[in-house]
Amino acid sequence: MIYDAAIIGAGPAGLLCARNAARRGLRVALIDSHENPGVKLAIAGGGKGNISNRILAENRYVGEDTGILRSALKSFSCDDALELMRELGLPWEERDFGQIFGLKSAAIMAERLAIQCDDAGVDFYLGSTAKSISLPDTGEAEVGPAFGRNGRREHFTLFAGQAKVTARQLVVAAGSPACPQLGANDQLLNLAASWGHKVVPFRPVLVPLVMPEHWPLAGLEGISLNVRIGLKSGSELRWPDPEGIRSLLFTHRGVSGPAVLVASCWWKPGMELVIDFLPELPILELLNEKESGKLIVRNLLARRLPARLADALCPEDLARRKVAELGKKDRLRLADIVHRFTVLPAGTEGMRRAEAAAGGIALASLSRRLESRHVPGLFFCGEITDITGLLGGYNIHWAFASGAMVAKGLKKGE
């Protein structure tokens, strides 16, 4: 049996790709190391799955070259994701920031997608890590259907457990190493690099940041508030989050919460974090208000910020002074502390706590249909590509959109 396509990875990208290709009449093999398809999908969004977003745009993604998103998000829109939910018989709700969440367990979504694959005729190879993957024209010559008359390998081959799988096309939908406790790793990215593809090394994103042990805001764990986060590299400061304001949570080791998880998508070692603790209220205006004049500085801050944070932020020499007594220099100093609190993170909580990994197969190595420019018939989709979404359902959406895109580009054999 020669499959039209072998797909490595039964996450959202591989499942949708397999289902759609099989519905087009292609013979498809779907291989996954886990016994259950969609293991990461099942735990996404706290188990409900934040599967898409109303606001789909290129600036909700990071990657060296995200240009492909314009057409990909047009050909698989939020409405298409909602149509998929309808077809799977799954109710959903829209939350803040346009986030679409399932109302039932995301594990059911994975199960139902797998059932649709089965109904479309996909052959599953579950509980089998794809090994000894060979490309056409490589490997030892041997007699058999995978080899042409001249002894050259015409097809892709791999082993899924004891089974040899032979296919005209290969789709790598193997995800990223984020959450290695689920067995996630970067082996297929390394293999793709050895096949000549440009790869951007994976790094953990959507991940809490760790602060130096004795940073000025240590000991505030549990406090949460809305902030705006900027990133500073040398003298360049930018505020990259298109949503602007989101919540931050102080943790035992540093900071987390949506604002930080999103900032981690751009953060790299050596970059400073700049936090605006009062993003909607310029402190200079507050200091100038008539009724502020008689307050002491610490109490003015404590009216607008959690008290323990106000205590930690307020410089000792200003804390007990009346606002009316502050000169211009002190007012500017206070504004700087509140709106431009700057700290150099020690690092991230790493892949174990990351919801995604940025990096992957560089889009420069792929065509507009996500086919390899080096190996015809080889495709990549989902998180293994160098396209990573911000918080809000963008990663699962990309997995679906790119899986659907590859399914369209796969060719049916005679």
Ligand X SMILES: Cc1cc2nc3c(=O)[nH]c(=O)nc-3n(C[C@H](O)[C@H](O)[C@H](O)COP(=O)(O)OP(=O)(O)OC[C@H]3O[C@@H](n4cnc5c(N)ncnc54)[C@H](O)[C@@H]3O)c2cc1C
- Under the rule (CB under 6 A), what is the footprint of ligand X? 8-14, 31-34, 39-41, 43-45, 49-50, 129-130, 173-175, 178-179, 183, 188, 355-356, 382-383, 389, 393-396, 399
Closest separation between CB of residue 335 and ligand X, Å? 37
Closest separation between CB of residue 189 and ligand X, Å? 10
CA-CA distance, 181 to 362, in Å (whole number)?
A: 26
Give the nearer residue to ligand X in terms of CB position, either 9 or 279: 9
Classified as helix, coil or strand, 314 is: coil
In the numeric block, the tokens 């018989």 are attached to 89
Give the nearer residue to ligand X in terms of CB position, either 45 or 230: 45
Question: Could you tell me the two tokens for 4?
Answer: 């039209």
Closest separation between CB of residue 38 and ligand X, Å? 7
Tell which residue, 146, 155, 158, 163, has the closest CA to residue 191.
158
CA-CA distance, 384 to 8, in Å (whole number)?
A: 11
Give the nearer residue to ligand X in terms of CB position, either 100 or 326: 100
Closest separation between CB of residue 156 and ligand X, Å? 14
Closest separation between CB of residue 170 and ligand X, Å? 12
Task: Encode burial over 363-395: b for 16+ CB neighbours within 10 A, e otherwise.
Answer: bebbeeebbbeebebbbbbbbbbbbbbbbbbbb
Q: How distant, in Å, are the alpha carbons of 226, 277, 356, 414 from that of 157?
A: 52, 55, 29, 19
Closest separation between CB of residue 256 and ligand X, Å? 13
| Residues whose CB falls within 8 Å of the CB of residue 338, separated by 6 or more in sequence, listed in order | 276, 277, 278, 283, 301, 305, 313
Give the nearer residue to ligand X in terms of CB position, either 175 or 230: 175
Give the nearer residue to ligand X in terms of CB position, either 359 or 389: 389
| Residues whose CB falls within 8 Å of the CB of residue 177, separated by 6 or more in sequence, listed in order | 184, 185, 186, 202, 351, 357
Closest separation between CB of residue 393 and ligand X, Å? 5
Give the nearer residue to ligand X in terms of CB position, either 56 or 297: 56
Closest separation between CB of residue 101 and ligand X, Å? 8
| Residues whose CB falls within 8 Å of the CB of residue 131, separated by 6 or more in sequence, listed in order | 158, 159, 160
Give the nearer residue to ligand X in terms of CB position, either 355 or 386: 355
Closest separation between CB of residue 233 and ligand X, Å? 26
Classified as helix, coil or strand, 404 is: helix
CA-CA distance, 156 to 171, in Å (whole number)?
A: 10
Contact of 11 with 179, CB cutoff 8 Å: no
Give the nearer residue to ligand X in terms of CB position, either 48 or 321: 48
Give the nearer residue to ligand X in terms of CB position, either 128 or 292: 128
Q: How distant, in Å, are the alpha carbons of 170, 237, 273 from that of 75?
A: 22, 35, 36
Give the nearer residue to ligand X in terms of CB position, either 39 or 326: 39
Closest separation between CB of residue 334 and ligand X, Å? 38
CA-CA distance, 135 to 169, in Å (whole number)?
A: 9
| Residues whose CB falls within 8 Å of the CB of residue 217, separated by 6 or more in sequence, listed in order | 211, 250, 309, 312, 313, 341, 343
* H-state helical runs in 104-232: 106-120, 187-194
